[in-house]
Amino acid sequence: MKDHDLLLSVEGIDQTGKTQIVDAIERTLHGRSLPVHTVHDPPELDPWIFAQETWLDRENEMSPVGEAFVFLAARLDGVQRIIAPTLAEEHFVIADRYVDSWVAYHAPRLAGPLGSLVHAVAFLTELHERLSDAGLLPFPRLTWLIKDDPEEALQRKRGKPTKWENHEAQARVAETYDLLASAAVSIVGEAIASIDHCLAGPAGTPLSALRRIISHPMALAQCQDLLASLPGAVAEPYYNTALAARR
């Protein structure tokens, strides 16, 4: 796997200002008389524009596995039609999302079929590496990860949200980005450990009086039996368990 010196990317959850940052980098490079081209993911090419508008961004009948590989096909098509020819001309390419976004958005959805989030990240990352080794997927020399609170980021949304633009999905994407950013070495396995959860609230509150239970989506999933026994309470996902307690 080899990074390309002229390929840069900006990653992050939705509504974090990535596009504005990409535009600023483009203006800066143009200001130095350097040739630069910006790209988006999925690529702004047919048939991917139509596919994204009509079904990829909406709830559809496709399985998470099938949908993940449709997005991969879109990226590889964009590489062949835009990125590779532009790099061959020795122009800079600034990607508004690229390889990491595919892992960040689809690994949580593939955690079930592949056994866990860790296994899904490892599988998708290894697939990227194989494509890179085959010369089909150049890797960026540098990637900026823009971090933000998913709840605050979604408040900046204007217009109808896509199926990806909800708190639970964005919190899981943020978690996966953090996992990718912290992984200086390859993921080779996982360890299973017992986890004890505590349901915290005002002293003396009976379980029957609970109406909202706020925590990280993973913690809520691990406590699904308890939550099912509390029909009067609604589980509300939040991107951070400790910060959820402050609410």
pLDDT of 187 over the 50 cut: no
Give strand ranges (E) for 15-156: 36-40, 92-96, 139-146
**Closest-CA residue to 55 (of 74, 29, 36):** 74
Phi, psi angle pair for 94, to nearest 5°? -110, 120
Using one digit for the tens of pLDDT, what is the confidence trace for 51-85? Answer: 998 988 999 999 999 999 999 999 999 999 999 99
CA end-to-end distance (rounded Å), the chain? 44
* pLDDT at 1 (0 to 100): 47
CA distances from 83 to 5, 75, 88, 108, 216 (A): 13, 10, 9, 27, 37
Q: Name the pTM for this structure.
A: 0.72
pLDDT of 244 over the 80 cut: no
